[in-house]
Structure 1
Amino acid sequence: MRASRHWWDGAADAYQAEHGEFLGDARFIWGPEGLDEAWARLLGDVEGRHVLEIGCGAGQCGRWLLTQGATAIGLELSGRQLAHSRELDARSGVRLPVVQADAVHLPFAPGSFDLVCSAYGAMPFVADAGGVLAEVARVLRPGGRFVFSVSHPIRWCFLDEPGEEGLYAVSSYFDRRPYVEEDADGTAVYVEHHRTVGDWVRLITGAGFHLTDLVEPEWTVGNEQVWGGWSPHRGDIIPGTAIFTATLPS
């Protein structure tokens, strides 16, 4: 968690400058493909619902939820990302309540929320994804849902390149070693974890959820955004994002 906090505090300004226009001030985008919750409706009708967004970044998704009549709150590890959230609050006129906290230890009472969501927030960056799922199950009401997006596990086989060179498998899908970047002293400054589809299914069901949907979004027509290894070229051939819907028994 220390590495993630430090990295996102340092990267937040560049990230928002590069991707802010695509993400909007109050827009719910599930991933670089451009799948927009305004028409995808993976969360269903959120009006009147209590919703928690984990890893909210600058709060774009949570702010959109507020415009749809939800009672929403964002949770984020990075203080610098939350500083950008406050700026967007002022610019958009839609204020998202936020909490700076670790997703493995959610600071909420049991049964506080109808929905929990996460668009590339927290889940790829925590070693204990099962612990996060258990915490989400704790704060959800019976029948509640957790919908979250991560890098599609198959992408770990390929170079993180948007062009033709990124279409050749170079790594084993079954190599679960995390991707780690280190500074000159050998201290981890960025960590991202790989889990196969089967790993995610077992983690979800192990936390007491039913897996009720898995969406692999196709590239959105008209989206010319290149985002790291994501691009229209690759997006037409291999999936870049996986979106899991996990539902608690009623």
Structure 2
Amino acid sequence: SVPEDDGDATGKAPKEEENDDKAPALEWADESSELDAEEEEDPEAAKGKASKKKKKKKLPPLFSPAAHYHWKLCSAKSGHHYTPCVDFDGDGSQKHHERSCPRSPVTCLVSLPKEYKLPAPWPERKEKIWYGNVGHPRLSSYAKDHSWLNRTGEHLVFPPEESEFKGGARHYIDTIDEMAPDLDWGKNIRIALDIGCKSAGFGVALLEKDVITLSLGLTNDQTDLAQVALERGIPATIGSLGSRRLPFPSGSFDIIHCSECNIPWHSNGGKLLIEMNRILRPGGYFIISSRHGDLESEEEEYQLQWLQFAGT
């Protein structure tokens, strides 16, 4: 992901500068205090003393309103190395999907990519975004094979009548309502987790129902649509469903959704399901869907039976 920055009138981001990643991440200066101010002494106690004592240097707390910070930019040549990393402490399961963390934490500010343009305001950005902000070869070929993702000139367009869900995202949510009639979007369902980033159509549709959706892009997903979700205005992050806990507190979500994410939920004794149960609030909903009507392999049949057993 990329942070938003102030751009010029053309929508282009300011020219980025190269800096040393190992340089201090920030510097501060507190104008309201004098670090070297001399301590006031009692005139009687000061008699006969040749030197004056000085006040001790006081540092303001981190992110103090009185402090002024100057963040150092990360090196522009290695921007792709700033993807969040996870070091696994367990048996190494899923470790090949993760980057090892550097010995010294990198605390520089990741600069915007070259030619980055500021996104359009909402709600325009939910229907089209700048292709140059998210473009890469795999995404280009992916868009050619999916009608709900079209490249038109400099924009990536999401036709309202098209969706990754059959019948559209709104129809898909209506189907969920039929299966779980006690769902009350915007009331008992306020925070959702959508596993597997696509076009973020699910999150856009739920936003109309006063539900905030966090899209979780998987690091082994070669299409990499997490940035697409961010450009459309939907919160997104990336991670891996490995042997470690996800970076969310227990009971964080009212609903967890996973559509065609091809995750082996039954593997390792169902550890992934146990993790979903941890981050799901008591009484929450865990929805798994697939657009294929029949099961073609014994593996798929076993997985479905296991999930039915786990849900009882």
TM-score normalised per structure 1: 0.52
Q: 1:98 aligns with which of 224, 232, 236?
A: 236
Give the conservation status (yes or no) of the 8 Å contact 2:251–2:280.
Answer: yes
Name the larger-Rg structure. 2
Residue 150 (structure 1) aligned with residue 290 (structure 2): yes
Match among 10, 13, 16 for residue 143 of structure 2:
16
Whether contact under 8 Å (1:111, 1:141) holds in the other structure is yes
Instruction: Tell me by how many angstroms 1:71 deviates.
Output: 2.0
**Alignment-derived partner of residue 202 in structure 1:** 306
The offset of 1:130, in angstroms, is: 2.7
Mark the CA change 1:85 to 1:28 in structure 2 (over 3 Å): closer, same or farther: same
Question: AA paired with 1:100?
Answer: I
Deviations 1:162-201 (A, max 9, x none): xxxxxxxxxxx43x3xxxxxxxxxxxxxxxxxx21x4323
> Any idea what the Cα deviations from partners look like across 1:99-127, whole Å, max 9, x if unmatched?
10113442211111111111212536996
CA change 1:11–1:134 in 2 (3 A) is farther
Please, which runs of 5 or more residues in structure 2 have no aligned partner?
Answer: 1-93, 99-135, 151-157
Aligned residue runs from structure 1 range 173-188, under 5 A = 173-174=297-298, 176=299
Of 56, 66, 80, which aligns to 2:197?
56
Decide whether the 8 Å contact of 1:62 with 1:74 is kept in 2: yes
What TM-score, normalized by structure 2, do the two folds share?
Answer: 0.43
2:258 counterpart residue number: 118
Report the CA distance shift for 1:25/1:34 in structure 2 as closer, same or farther (over 3 A): closer
Q: 1:154, CA displacement in angstroms? A: 3.5
Counterpart of 2:209 (choices 52, 63, 68) is 68
Greater shift, 23-32 or 43-52, is seen at 23-32
Distance in 1 (alpha carbons) for counterparts of 2:282 and 2:255:
10
Find out whether 1:132 has 2:276 as its counterpart: no
Residues 30 and 124 (structure 1), Cα distance of their counterparts in 2 relative to 1, 3 Å cut: farther
User: What SS does structure 2 have at the residue aligned with 1:74?
Assistant: strand
Aligned-partner residue type, residue 58 of structure 1: S
Structure-2 separation of matches of 1:4 and 1:33: 34
TM-aligned CA deviation for residue 97 of structure 1: 0.7
Match for residue 230 of structure 2 among 60, 80, 86: 86
Q: Which amino acid aligns with 1:18?
A: D
Question: Following the alignment from structure 1 to structure 2, what is the Cα–Cα distance between the partners of residues 136 and 125?
Answer: 10
In structure 1, how many angstroms separate the alpha carbons of the residues matched to 2:240 and 2:227? 17
Give SS of 2:234's match.
coil
| Cα distance in 2 between the residues matched to 1:2 and 1:151 | 30
Q: CA deviation at 1:149?
A: 1.1
2:225 counterpart SS class = helix
Q: Which has the larger share of helix? A: 1
Q: Hey, what does 2:80 align to over in structure 1?
A: none
User: 2 CA distance for matches of 1:27 and 1:46?
Assistant: 22
Q: Return the alpha-carbon distance in structure 2 between the equivalents of residues 54 and 27 of structure 1.
A: 23
Q: Is the 8 A contact 2:259 2:289 kept in 1?
A: yes
* 2:13 alignment counterpart: none
Distance in 2, matches of 1:153 and 1:127, equals 23
Residue 186 of structure 2 is aligned to residue 47 of structure 1:
yes
Question: Quick check: 2:255–2:280 contact (8 Å CA) kept in 1?
Answer: yes
CA distance in 2, matches of 1:63, 1:117: 14
Question: Is this contact kept in 2: 1:116–1:147, CA < 8 A?
Answer: yes
Q: Over the residues paired in the alignment, what is the CA RMSD in angstroms?
A: 3.8
